[in-house]
Structure 1
C-alpha cells in the first residue's frame, strides 16, 4: 500500500476545502470499497480526508420548497437505513436493495454516500497487471474480448463495458431520488439519474461530480408509487455477490390499468439504468405478462451483447416481468 497522509475533517466545509485544493486527496467514509482499492493499488491517493465522523448520519423528514419526503444523511450506515421504519414502510425497494448487498458486517460499516460512489467490480479494473481504460485512460479495455459474464449490455462504449455495482443506487434511481452535494461553490442538488454517467470515451469518470464535491444527503420524495415498490436481484450465489441483473420497480394500478410505474435496472450498464422507454410503454395499459414483455423488449432493443453476456437480456426481461406482476398481485 502506498503511504498517504490522513486528516480528519471537523465539518463538511472543511472536508470540501481540503479535497478540492489537493488533486491527490480523496474522501474516506466507511472505506469498504476504497480500502480494498488501496490494498490492490487501484487507488493511490496522497491524502485521505476522513468524513466518517461528520454529523451527516440522520434520517429525517423534510418539507420545504423542494417538496416532502425523507432526507438521508450521507453517513447513514446501510444497515441502519435498511432497518429504518419509514424506509421499510414507505420505500421498501430501498430496504430490500440494501439487504441484498454485501454482508451484514459490511452493511454495518458502509455509508449511503459511499455506496453510491463505489467503483466497478470488473475483474480487469481490479487487476493492475492488465490494461484498463477506467484505471489508466488510453491503455485499452481488457474486458472486450475477455471474460465477459459481468459486462454491460446497455450504454457501453468501445472504451469500457464495465457495470456499476451498487444495489442501493438502482432503487434510488427508480424512486426519483435527489442527491444533495456540497462543493467549493456551495450546495447543489441533482437527480440521482444525473449523478452517474455512461463511459463514452472517458470511462475513468464514474460520476458528474467535480473533484472536491461531497455528497451530504439523499432525498426521497413522498409518493404512492414508492410505497408499492420492491427490488429483485439475480446473482451467482444467494448472498455476498454482485448483481448479474437486478430490477427496482414501483407500481400503482387502478381499475386494472397502470397509472404510475417506476423501473430501473442494475448489472446491465455503467450506471443504474432507468428504463424510461419501458415505463412509457406500460402507462395506461392493462398489466399482464405480454404487456410487460413488450415494454421490456422496447427498452432492450438497444442492447449490445458479447457471447458471455447475452444471457443478461432475457434475464433482465424476465426479472422485470416477475417483479411487476408480483407488485400487482398477479405473479404467474
Structure 2
C-alpha cells in the first residue's frame, strides 16, 4: 500500500471543504477518497487499484438515521450500516425486499461495517479490475479489457460494451432499484438528487466513470417512496454457494396483484448487468396480465433481449430467466 494522508471530518460541511481543497487543481478524477466502512476501499488500496493521496474518514458524520418522512416513505442516511438497515422495523415492515437483499450479501461482520453510501458505490469484483498487473479499461482507461476473451463466468451480459463487461456486485442497490429509490448528494454544485436508475452510468467508451457523482461529491442519504398498500416484495439470489458469495443472477420484484391480475410491477436484476438492472421490458410484458406461468415466461424472455453473453457466461441467459420466473411466482402468490 502506498503512503497517503488521513483526515477526519465531523460534519458534512467540513468533509466537503476538505475534499474540495484537495481536489482543487486536479485533472480528471480527484485523488481524495471518502472512507466510511472501508470494506471496499481498503481492499483496493492494498491491491494497488486505488491510489488516493488523501483518505477522508467520514464515519463520524451524523448521517446514520432511518426515518419516516413527510408524505410517507423513508429516508436512509448514507452512514447507516447494512446490518442496522436490514433489521430496522421500518424496512422489515414496509420494504422487506431491501431487508432480504441486505441479509443475502457478504457476511455478518462485513454488514456490521458496510454503509448505505458505500454499498451504492461498491466496485466490481472482476478479477482483472482487481489485478493491477492486467489490462483493464475501468482501472486504467485505454489499456483494454482482459475479461473479453478471458475469465468472464461471473461478469455481465446486459449493458456491456466493447470496452468493459464488468458486473455490478451490489445486492442492496438491486432492491433499491426495484423500490425506485432517490439518491441525494452534496458537493461543489450544492445539493443534488437522482433517481437510482439515472445514478449509474453504462460503461460505453468510459467504463472508469460508473456514476454521475462529481469529484468530491458526497452521498448524504437515500429516500424510498411510500410502499403502496398490498405491495409484496421478494429478493431471490442465485450463487455458487449459500453464503458469502456474489450473485450469478438475482432478481428484486415488487408486485401488486388485485383480482388475480398484476396492477403494478417493478423488477430489477443483479449479477447480470453492468449496473443494477431495471428491466422495463419485463415489467411491460406483465402489467395488466394474470399472474401466470405463461406471463412470467414472457417477462423473463423480454428481460434478456439484447443480452450479450461472453465465452463463459452464456448460462446466465437461462439462469436469470429462471430466477425472474421464480421470484415473480413468490411475489404474486396469494397469502
Quick one: structure 1 residues 160 and 147, their matched pair in 2 at CA, closer, same or farther if it must change by over 3 Å? same
Which residue matches 2:27? none
1:299 maps to 2:306: no
Q: Given the alignment, which residue of 158, 161, 180 partners 1:157?
A: 161
Distance 1:196 1:236, change over 3 A: same
- Residue 185 of structure 1 and its aligned partner are, at CA, apart by 2.1
Q: Is residue 2:193 matched to residue 1:189?
A: yes
Match of 2:8 in 1: 8
- After superposition, the Cα gap between the structure-2 partners of 1:226 and 1:62, relative to the gap in structure 1 and judged at 3 Å, is farther
In the alignment of these two chains, the number of paired residues is: 328
Secondary structure of 2:240's match? coil
User: 1:53-88 CA distances to partner (integer Å, 9 max, x unpaired)?
Assistant: 10000000111xxx4310000000000000001100
Encode CA deviations 1:173-195: one digit per residue, 9 max, x unaligned.
Answer: 00010001011121111101111
After TM superposition, the structure 1 = structure 2 runs for residues 224-263 of structure 1, keeping only pairs within 5 Å, are 224=228, 227-263=231-267
Counterpart contact for 1:133–1:141, Cα < 8 Å: yes
Match of 2:324, SS? helix
Contact 1:89 1:227 in 2 (8 A): no
Query: In the TM superposition, what whole-angstrom CA distance separates every residue of 1:134-184 from its partner, at most 9, and x where no partner exists?
Result: 000000000000011112111100000000000000000000100010111
Matches of 2:17 and 2:318, distance apart in 1: 47
Deviation at 1:330, TM superposition (A): 6.6
Aligned: 1:41 with 2:48: yes
Q: How does 1:25-36 map to 2 (within 5 A)?
A: 25-36=32-43
158-167 or 23-32, which moves further after superposition?
A: 23-32
Instruction: Give TM-score scaled by structure 1 length.
Output: 0.96
Shift of 1:17: 2.3
Deviation, structure 1 residue 329: 1.6
Q: Quick one: distance in 1 between partners of 2:89 and 2:133?
A: 46
Give 4+ residue runs of structure 1 displaced > 4 Å after superposition.
none
Contact 2:35/2:58 (<8 A) preserved: yes
**1:17-166 to 2 correspondences below 5 Å:** 17-21=17-21, 22=23, 23-63=30-70, 67-166=71-170
**C-alpha distance in 2 between matches for 1:105 and 1:299:** 34
User: Partner residue of 1:218?
Assistant: 222
- In structure 1, the residue matched to 2:332 is 328
Cα distance in structure 1, aligned partners of 2:62 and 2:254: 31
Cα pair 1:247 1:263 within 8 Å, conserved: yes
Contact 2:11 2:60 in 1 (8 A): no
Shift of 1:327: 1.5
Task: List per-residue Cα deviations over 1:78-100 (Å, max 9, x = no partner).
Answer: 00000001100100010000000
Cα distance in structure 1, aligned partners of 2:91 and 2:329: 22
In structure 2, stretches of 5+ residues that fail to align are 24-29
Asked if the contact 2:149–2:311 (Cα under 8 Å) also holds between the matched residues in 1, the reply is: no
The DSSP-based 3-state class of the residue aligned with 2:257 is strand
- The 8 Å contact of residues 77 and 112 in structure 1, kept in 2 or not, is answered as yes
1:260 Cα shift?
Answer: 0.4
Residue 226 and residue 55 in structure 1: after superposition, are their counterparts in 2 closer, same or farther (change >3 A)?
A: farther
Helix, strand or coil at the partner of 1:246: strand
